[in-house]
Amino acid sequence: MLEVRDLTKSFDGFVAVSGVTFGVPRGAISAIIGPNGAGKTTLFNLITGHLRPDRGHVTLNGRDVTHVAPHDLCRLGVGRSFQRTNIFPRLTVFENVQAAFICHRGGGWNLLAAGDGVHRDETAALLESVGLAGRAGEVAGFLSHGGQKQLELGLALALEPEILLLDEPTAGMSAAETRESIRLIERIVRERGLTLLFTEHDMEVVFSIAQRLTVLHQGRVIADGAPDEVRRDTEVRRVYLGERH
């Protein structure tokens, strides 16, 4: 469904993403893993049109989308979340998701009328599915970190994507929150028949959910394949798990 070929990006001579090639099959749960600074967020920004690559291509359903702007890519079915949350902190949880529906489907955004009916049922249903039904009236900026991440997921889903790109969806969460959040994401992806690509720095989180892994190290792909293959890979063990040989 999504193909990345030879994607490369430098910042002032520093190569953050270097010749990255991998594919995401439709319906699969795939992950990009790598330690902090490996180039995961940069790679996401290249895929979603937030950054222009120096070289390489991104193809979605066979169509070259390398230079497509983020909002147009969203119309083509690519939804994403950000490593740092991207919510409207002063609006309520409900209004955040409602605003996302209005952006996507139209309906006219008016803060004073926000409490009124526009996309009310879809908003309530989506909040239920991301586990925020009981917090609809709370001001988004006051949610816990985990709650804000759930809301971000809701905002991405309101855009009705076919493929969901989540950048470190469990960043900053406790181990318990992480497990719960991964289960939630997995359930939503399966229920909606989505394709998922997410980034993560904690390898254990990834093994519990991903069918395919791409390991980045200093901007390069050092391994790519099924979790078990990747776990056994000697280079991954050396650079990522810190084993010496």
Tokens 């990834």 appear where? Answer: 206
41 binds ligand ADP (CB under 6 A): yes
Q: Could you tell me the CA-to-CA distances from 124 to 100, 136, 203, 235 in Å, in that order?
A: 13, 8, 34, 47
State which H helix or E strand residue 202 sits in: none
42 binds ligand ADP (CB under 6 A): yes
Contact pick of 1, 22, 39, 60 for ligand ADP (by CB under 6 A): 39
* Rounded-to-integer distance, Cα 32 and Cα 241, Å: 15
Q: Could you tell me the CA-to-CA distances from 56 to 18, 30, 76, 108 in Å, in that order?
A: 10, 20, 20, 38
For ligand ADP, the closer CB: 36 or 121: 36
DSSP summary character for residue 88 = -
37 binds ligand ADP (CB under 6 A): yes
Q: Is 73 left (phi over 0), alpha (psi -120 to 50) or beta?
A: alpha
Minimum Å gap between C-beta 236 and Mg ion is 19
Stretch that binds ligand ADP, among 9-17, 109-117, 176-184, 186-194 (CB under 6 A): 9-17
For ligand ADP, the closer CB: 162 or 167: 167
41 binds Mg ion (CB under 5 A): yes
142 binds ligand ADP (CB under 6 A): no
Question: Phi, psi at residue 85, to the nearest 5°?
Answer: -65, 155
Stretch that binds ligand ADP, among 36-44, 63-71, 97-105, 135-143 (CB under 6 A): 36-44
161 binds, among ligand ADP, Mg ion, none (CB under 5 to 8 A by kind): none
List residues near Mg ion by CB under 5 A.
40-41, 83
